[in-house]
Structure 1
Amino acid sequence: MRCFRLMKQLRGMSVYECVLPTVLSGTLTAAQHTCPKNCRCDSKIVYCESHAFREIPRNISGGSQGLLLCYNSIQKVKSNQFWGLYQLIWLYLDHNYIRSVPEDAFQGIQRLKELILNSNKITHLHNKAFHLVPNVCNLDLSYNKLQVLRSEQFKGLCKLLFLHLWSNSLKMGPVQVFQDCQNLDFLDLGYNHVRSLSHNAFAGLLQLTELHLEHN
């Protein structure tokens, strides 16, 4: 099942324009044009979905802009796992068995705009897990097993527009956890275990236009 979607809708939302480039133009040079075994590489997109991979494959071209690893059996994202993929814009890791995300998992891919981690088994996110991807504007952590958000979980994500946290086990984390997300437009905390909200739970969300808290 191909999970890469240049245009998609989620729960009635409009197209995520922030992560849609005009065209993935250009051709990889011969030195860059390597493709992992059992994957398919088309221009600058690497399709490795639905192949029962237990680990993230090697030999991914450094010029890749999109990497699709959804619907596999990946259990762990290691430190510096994506080092060298400096051009990466999209990373899809949804529908795997990932349980935790270390501090430097996304080292070296700071151009990343869309990070999809939904439908895993994530119980632990390092407090600085996303500090190395400051340009992310769409972050999907829905359908995991998160119970808490840490104080600096989203620190520095001033370009974040869409944050999906629905269908976890969250009880709401530290106050002002969204303090740096001044441009956040959409926040989904539905289908969690939230029982109460502090008066400054959403401090910093100056541009928020859609908030989901249903089924808590």
Structure 2
Amino acid sequence: MLSLRCVLACIVCVCAFQSTLEDKASNTKLLTRRISSNINVNIREHKLFESNLLRKYILTLQKNNIYKNNLIDSKLETRNSVLINQNNFLGSVNENGVLHEIPKTRVLEPPVTPFSLITLTTSNTAREHMPDGQADLARGQQDESDDDGPSMRGTAPPFVCDLCPTTVDSKNPLSPCTCVGNSGSLAGEISITCPPSTATTEQLHDLFTHTDFFTTSVFRFTLQGSNVSGVLSQELWGDLTFTQVIITDNKINHVDNKAFNNSANTLTLLNLDNNEISYYVTSGTDDLPKLTTLVLKRNRIPIVFTNAFSYASLTVLDLSSNLIDTIGKDAFAALDKLQELYLDHNLLTKVDDDCFRFFNHKPDNNFLTLDLSFNKISYISEYAFRGLRNVQINLQSNHLTTITETVFKPIILDSQFFVFLSFSGNNITCDCKILWIVEDSSMKSCFDNFMCVNLNVPVYLIDPEDLGNCTRHSHVRRFLG
């Protein structure tokens, strides 16, 4: 009797297991019919955006042995990104592999440039990559799906939806400014652009503080070509935080040193080109730790004060086309990551000791570009560039008449000749004072082919004997002081 019961129990278990397999096969067939018949990766030529949802589809299909990795273009795997076409999106797959149609939502258009679209529809190209048997299944199920009534196409999921503020009647509460939601890796952020008709900072303050935002994370704020003047202060922005701020071609005359404190952990770019700013100093040690690019060109800044800048991540600083005639000691010393420093088209007449000293300069590219061209520099102190290594210094179109050995030779030697110095556009006299350049081809290669005004010949064509009666002894004595 016991044995008979065991046998019956085994039969029941086998039947139940077989039923489970049949149910799973049925579900898999349904999933195949509803998904594989609607899948095709149609990649166009532009930048791709991130989508966790497509990866969820892929994982679901792989889990059910419907879909293989080679169906997905390798670009998606390496870039880990995609933008879903709003008119061809099926819906979402939950963690159990159940497909749900997504209700209509507001889907973003690309804010700046066209991006690649991933359309989820079956084509012969997609079926060619399917394993044997699955292509036929997909082809047959495509035909069957046409008889199922309305298509399951919906719109993009909420994580790429527009988070811009709207009123009940869909009016723009930020008018005259416009808001665009961001997709992909920037999903959850918005970008705000204000037109030239924007009048005052008070108007901006009212917009930012009296609007109900779904998110306070603003990727890019842009204000260009307006008559907005006055001060950029911390109170102006309300609770908004920014990754990029572009306020150019306006009449801003002052930037409070705490203006962007709310964005301390997000701000990477601050462009204040072509305003009327006359003063800029950081508020303290590394108050904007993520800032990598600061553009202050075409303003009215007359002085760069001692220890003026203190941004640990800053790689580009543009102070060109201002009114700068004085640079304080250690003005840039705390900019450990600085790679590009532009001071061209200013009013500098000299470069004093330690103007360009750095405390712990270790840029990621191990190189510094320093542009001092188109100033009025006639004198460079012996220790003006003390400690600089691996550098390109542009001194074109100044008022220099010679190239001092004690200033530049230590830089070249300490950098193992990984230096380039530009002096074209100066009135350089080629005499015994530049013998140290002419007599050594390796040294000469560190300079541009500037013109020797007294010989009317470029320096690359000059030989030591062309400089006159220069003795090696006097040349060495001059270098040692």
TM-score for the superposition, normalised by structure 1: 0.78
- Counterpart CA distance in 2 for 1:39 and 1:212 is 37
- Counterpart CA distance in 1 for 2:327 and 2:348 is 10
1:51 corresponds to which of 193, 197, 221: 197
- Counterpart CA distance in 2 for 1:209 and 1:30 is 41
One-letter code aligned to 2:191: I
Does residue 120 of structure 1 match 2:258?
no
Q: Name the SS of the counterpart of 1:108 in structure 2.
A: helix
- Counterpart CA distance in 2 for 1:53 and 1:131 is 32
Between structure 1 and structure 2, the one with the greater Rg is: 2
- Offset of 1:26 from its aligned partner? 4.4
The verdict on how the C-alpha distance between 1:144 and 1:30 changes in structure 2, with shifts beyond 3 A counting, is closer
One-letter code aligned to 1:132: D
2:369 corresponds to which of 205, 210, 213: 210
Gaps of at least 5 residues in structure 1 are: 1-21
- Counterpart CA distance in 1 for 2:164 and 2:229 is 32
Greater Cα offset, 167-176 or 60-69: 60-69
One-letter code aligned to 1:213: L
Q: Which residue of 2 aligns with 1:105?
A: 259
Q: Which residue of 2 aligns with 1:138?
A: 293
Higher relative contact order (CA 8 A, sep 6+): 1
Query: Contact (CA 8 Å) 1:168, 1:192: kept in 2 or not?
Result: yes
Question: Matches of residues 67-216 of structure 1 in structure 2 within 5 Å?
Answer: 67-80=221-234, 81-86=236-241, 88-110=242-264, 111-128=266-283, 132-155=287-310, 157-204=311-358, 205-207=361-363, 208-216=367-375
Greater Cα offset, 125-134 or 191-200: 125-134
- Offset of 1:74 from its aligned partner? 1.4
How large is the Cα RMSD of the aligned pairs? 2.7
Gaps of at least 5 residues in structure 2 are: 1-80, 83-110, 112-158, 182-189, 376-481
Does residue 39 of structure 1 match 2:193?
no
Matched-pair identity in %: 19
Query: Contact (CA 8 Å) 2:164, 2:180: kept in 1 or not?
Result: no
Query: Contact (CA 8 Å) 1:50, 1:70: kept in 2 or not?
Result: yes
State the aligned residue count. 193
Query: Contact (CA 8 Å) 1:127, 1:151: kept in 2 or not?
Result: no
- Counterpart CA distance in 2 for 1:83 and 1:179 is 33
- Offset of 1:70 from its aligned partner? 1.5
One-letter code aligned to 1:214: S
Q: Which residue of 1 aligns with 2:186?
A: none
- Counterpart CA distance in 2 for 1:203 and 1:37 is 47
The verdict on how the C-alpha distance between 1:83 and 1:50 changes in structure 2, with shifts beyond 3 A counting, is same
- Counterpart CA distance in 2 for 1:94 and 1:103 is 18
More helix by share: 2
TM-score for the superposition, normalised by structure 2: 0.37
One-letter code aligned to 2:225: Y
